[in-house]
């Protein structure tokens, strides 16, 4: 989970848009009130979170008439001001973090807090009941097709 907030960081007052790992409890405490779309939202994908943060930074720049950077990282549940960086830095970080995330075996999206299983024997996990159901249906169709092919070969 990744959360996007606007921050006025302690102790120097640096303003930036922050993408923090974890839910709302893992953001720095100096968050400004919600003003732009996407603030205080939680994202499963760091890529989606960073792109939202960039949109917020651009809108805030336009309103504040000054440079607003994006900072990314993890507070580990404490107060930990993030270094500001370029949009390119944030996008690179997001891609690297995304590559390490556990993904749904059906749709390839990052896993949420709750996981689902299509069966008890293959150990695959899915991000939603929908994906688990689709995987189970596909598995059943493949099994049926395999049995039909075996039956045809037995008749020959």
Q: What is the pLDDT of residue 38?
A: 96
- Range of 119's domain? 102-156
Q: Does residue 12 share a domain with residue 53?
A: yes
Are 19 and 79 in the same domain?
yes
pLDDT on residue 139: 84
17/55 same-domain check: yes
For the chain, helix, strand, coil in percent to 5 are 40, 15, 40
Residues 76 and 142 in one domain: no
Which of 81, 100, 119 lies at the terminal end of a domain, its last residue? 100
Task: Indicate whether 41 and 117 sit together in one domain.
Answer: no
pLDDT of residue 130: 87
Residues in the chain: 156
Q: Would you place residue 61 in the very low, low, confident or very high pLDDT band (cuts 50, 70, 90)?
A: very high
Which secondary structure element, helix H or strand E, spans residue 42, and what is its range?
Answer: strand 42-43
Supply angle C-alpha 6, 9, 15, rounded to 5. Answer: 50
Of 75, 100, 125, which residue sits at a domain end? 100
Same domain flag for 120 and 146:
yes
Identify the top-confidence range among 22-31, 90-99, 118-127.
90-99
Mean pLDDT of 49-78: 95
Contact 7, 17 (CB under 8 A): yes
- In terms of domains, do 94 and 120 share one? no
What does the pLDDT read at residue 111?
79
Reported pTM: 0.74
Structure tokens at 70: 């994006």
DSSP 5: E
The Cα 145–Cα 139 span in angstroms is 10
> How is residue 26 annotated by DSSP?
G
Q: Which of 71, 100, 129 is the last residue of a domain?
A: 100
Shared domain for 8 and 85, answered yes or no, is yes
So what's the pLDDT on residue 125?
A: 84
Would you state the pLDDT for residue 153?
A: 79
Half-sphere exposure of 57 (CA within 13 A, CB side): 24
What is the pLDDT, as a whole number, of residue 95?
96
Alpha-carbon Rg for the chain in angstroms:
22
Please state, rounded to an integer, the average pLDDT across all residues of the chain: 89
Torsion region of 123: left, alpha or beta (phi above 0 gives left; psi -120 to 50 gives alpha): left
pLDDT, tens digit, for every residue of 95-127? Answer: 999 998 888 888 888 877 777 777 767 778 888
- 9 CB neighbour count, 10 Å cutoff: 19
Q: How far apart are CA 45 and CA 41, in angstroms?
A: 12
Judgement on whether residues 15 and 82 belong to the same structural domain of the protein: yes
Tally of domains in the chain? 2
Assess whether 74 and 119 both reside in one domain: no
């Amino acid at each position: 989970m990744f959360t996007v907030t606007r921050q006025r960081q302690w102790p120097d007052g640096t303003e930036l848009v922050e993408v923090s790992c974890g839910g709302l409890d893992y953001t720095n405490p100096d968050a400004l009130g919600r003003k732009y779309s996407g603030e205080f939202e939680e994202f499963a994908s760091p890529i989606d979170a960073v792109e939202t943060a960039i949109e917020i930074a651009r809108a805030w720049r336009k309103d504040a008439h000054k440079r607003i950077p994006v900072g990314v990282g993890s507070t580990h549940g404490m107060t930990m001001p993030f270094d500001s960086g370029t949009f390119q830095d944030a996008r690179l970080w997001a891609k690297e973090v995304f590559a390490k995330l556990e993904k749904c075996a059906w749709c390839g999206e990052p896993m949420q807090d709750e996981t689902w299983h299509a069966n008890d024997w293959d150990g695959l996990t899915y991000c939603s009941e929908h994906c688990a159901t689709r995987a189970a249906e596909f598995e059943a169709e493949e099994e049926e097709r395999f049995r039909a092919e075996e039956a045809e070969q037995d008749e020959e």
